[in-house]
Amino acid sequence: MNKNYRPRRLTMAGCMLAALVSTSSHATTILYTQNFENPNPGSFVNDGADVNIFNTINTLYGGQPAGFQFAQANTVETLLVGGTQAWGTGFLDPQAKAGQHVIGMLSSVQNDLLGLSFNVGNFKFLNFQVDISSIDLSAWGGPFVPSGGLAPVFKFSLFDNPGGGTGTGTGGGTLLSSATVTGSLSPLKNTFDWTNHIVALDASGNTNGNVILQIDELVGGYAALDNFVIAASDTSGDVGQGVPEPAGMALLGLGAAGLAAARRRA
């Protein structure tokens, strides 16, 4: 996502209209965007080495938009980009994609998981666009990436979630689909090397539209994610156009009924 993009503030009515226009024009509804640039006030704490480890992702970014909640297993960190503590230099971002904050996950030592819950209505796919990068920590048990570097591999899984609650997908819901993506190897532990990916997760077979997107790093030791765009669509890989920031959108407030109504207008 372009960090220089400055979205307009939208009213609830404007958000609902945008959702309907997006749906009828493209059979796609944007569910969520997040570039992690605006943690909730007072929630980011540099616990050392430019890492927020003790406050959860939900503490930092829950309620963006109102009502949205994350679920996580183990410690999913928020990293400060452009600081001075990590590796004695701070985390470096020569591609200028990270902004000031990104999130990081372990694939080794412990199995970090992140879960996001949505209602896809009657749409066929949940499409997910994300930037991923290898990176490593200089504290908190790190380094975790093997010597010489290792390209990160992430798995994105979609689970049925008939109860509609938050979770990481480990609660027994039926696995609907999954996909893996591989980033590039960055030989420098303090430097991001971002690659962009779009995965199309088949939502067919869900009970009532409610699903959980699970994010899991499989390989790499440690890696970062940023710039989420998540959409429900009838087209594989379509994440829509003109994406607003979380603070300016309330599409999740449409809920199952609103999405179904929008879908019928398509």
Set out the domains of the chain in order of their start, with CATH numbers. Answer: 12-265 (2.60.120.260)
57, 155 Cβ separation under 8 angstroms: no
The rounded mean pLDDT for the chain is 85
* Confidence grade of residue 201 (pLDDT, cut at 50, 70, 90): very high
**Cα–Cα distance for residue pair 78/55, rounded to 1 Å:** 9
Read off the pLDDT of each residue in 116-144 and give the average, rounded to a whole number.
Answer: 98
DSSP code at position 117? E
Handedness of CA 217, 119, 195, 174 (dihedral sign): positive
User: Helices in the chain by DSSP H: which ranges?
Assistant: 12-26, 57-61, 255-265
* Confidence grade of residue 151 (pLDDT, cut at 50, 70, 90): very high
209, 98 Cβ separation under 8 angstroms: no
Q: Helices (H) and strands (E) in the chain — how many of each?
A: 3, 12
Write out pLDDT tens, residues 42-85: 999 999 999 999 999 999 999 999 999 999 999 999 999 999 99
Per-residue model confidence (pLDDT) at position 261: 38
**Cα–Cα distance for residue pair 92/98, rounded to 1 Å:** 9
Write out pLDDT tens, residues 181-192: 999 999 899 999
Read off the pLDDT of each residue in 210-230 and give the average, rounded to a whole number.
Answer: 98
**Cα–Cα distance for residue pair 152/97, rounded to 1 Å:** 17
Pick from 204, 10, 64: nearest CA to 120: 204
Per-residue model confidence (pLDDT) at position 105: 98
75, 43 Cβ separation under 8 angstroms: no
* Confidence grade of residue 266 (pLDDT, cut at 50, 70, 90): very low
**Cα–Cα distance for residue pair 40/80, rounded to 1 Å:** 14
182 vs 13, 119, 212, CA distance in Å? 39, 27, 22
Strands 125-134 and 153-160 turn out to be: unpaired
50 vs 40, 162, 175, 176, 240, CA distance in Å? 17, 39, 36, 37, 34
Read off the pLDDT of each residue in 231-235 and give the average, rounded to a whole number.
Answer: 97
Prior bond of 143 cis (ω within 30°): yes
Per-residue model confidence (pLDDT) at position 148: 87
Per-residue model confidence (pLDDT) at position 172: 86
Write out pLDDT tens, residues 92-114: 999 999 999 999 999 988 999 99
Strand ranges inside 120-262, DSSP E: 125-134, 153-160, 175-182, 195-202, 210-219, 222-233
High-pLDDT (> 70) share of the chain, %? 80
**Cα–Cα distance for residue pair 200/222, rounded to 1 Å:** 24
* 255 or 241, higher pLDDT: 241
Residue with tokens 């979630």: 161
Tokens representing residue 120 in the block: 């896809």
Residue with tokens 């994440």: 239
Tokens representing residue 55 in the block: 């406050």
Q: pLDDT at residue 180 above 90?
A: yes
